[in-house]
């Protein structure tokens, strides 16, 4: 990091103090979350005790839900005008891009006749490719109950980091 242009010269072996967190630094996420939390609470939302990234509120007699994942968020409610008010307030405070919701945190979201469907087909396919299991087929019983397990020895024996695979799910 270097001293910004136009800043007064500094004595050798001295340090400068940052007055706010810079994007990419360790403390930035915490600072951003704290600012976002304070702003949303001032709008009248309440932070969930079960998940600190979920907020609920009531605006114009309409229940509003807001969920946050790192720096991505989703806002939903039944009234479009109420939704637009919340989005406008967020846009005035935070630079962001808004769009129709089709994909959020590895979830594909589809709407049809007043219903919402959520699936993770793309994510699951990526996991299958990552763990080289594209050709795996579902079975009711993964192995014959009487079979004896052995260590894989040949080049064609499938070795999967199971903890990593299960953790990804």
Residue 131 contacts residue 160 (beta carbons within 8 Å): yes
Show me where the domains of the chain are located. 29-98, 100-136
User: Which tens digit of pLDDT belongs to each residue from 16-56?
Assistant: 777 766 667 777 788 888 989 999 999 999 999 999 999 99
Which residue from 43, 99, 38 is spatially nearest to 74, judged by alpha carbons? 99
Average pLDDT over residues 72-92: 89
- The one-character DSSP state at 164 is H
DSSP 77-141: ES-HHHHHHHHHHHHHHS-------SEETTEEEEEETTEEEEE-HHHHHHHHHHTT-TT----SS
Average pLDDT along the chain: 83
Round to whole Å and give the CA distance between 98 and 10: 43
0.85 surpassed by pTM: no
Taking residues 67-75, report their average pLDDT: 86
Q: What is the predicted pLDDT for the residue at 58? A: 93
């Amino acid at each position: 990091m270097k001293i910004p242009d136009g800043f007064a010269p500094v004595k050798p072996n001295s340090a400068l103090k940052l007055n706010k967190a810079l994007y990419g630094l360790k403390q930035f996420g915490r600072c951003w979350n704290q600012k976002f939390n304070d702003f949303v609470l001032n709008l009248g939302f309440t932070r969930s005790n079960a998940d600190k990234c979920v907020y609920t509120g009531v605006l114009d007699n309409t229940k509003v839900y807001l969920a946050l994942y790192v720096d991505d968020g989703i806002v939903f409610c039944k009234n479009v005008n109420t939704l637009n008010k919340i989005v406008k307030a967020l846009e005035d405070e935070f630079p962001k891009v808004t769009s129709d919701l089709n994909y959020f945190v590895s979830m594909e979201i589809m709407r049809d006749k007043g219903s919402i469907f959520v699936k993770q087909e793309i994510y699951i396919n990526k996991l299958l490719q990552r763990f080289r299991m594209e050709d795996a087929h579902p079975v009711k019983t993964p192995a014959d109950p009487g079979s004896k397990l052995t260590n894989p020895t040949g080049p064609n024996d499938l070795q999967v980091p199971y903890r990593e695979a299960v953790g990804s799910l």
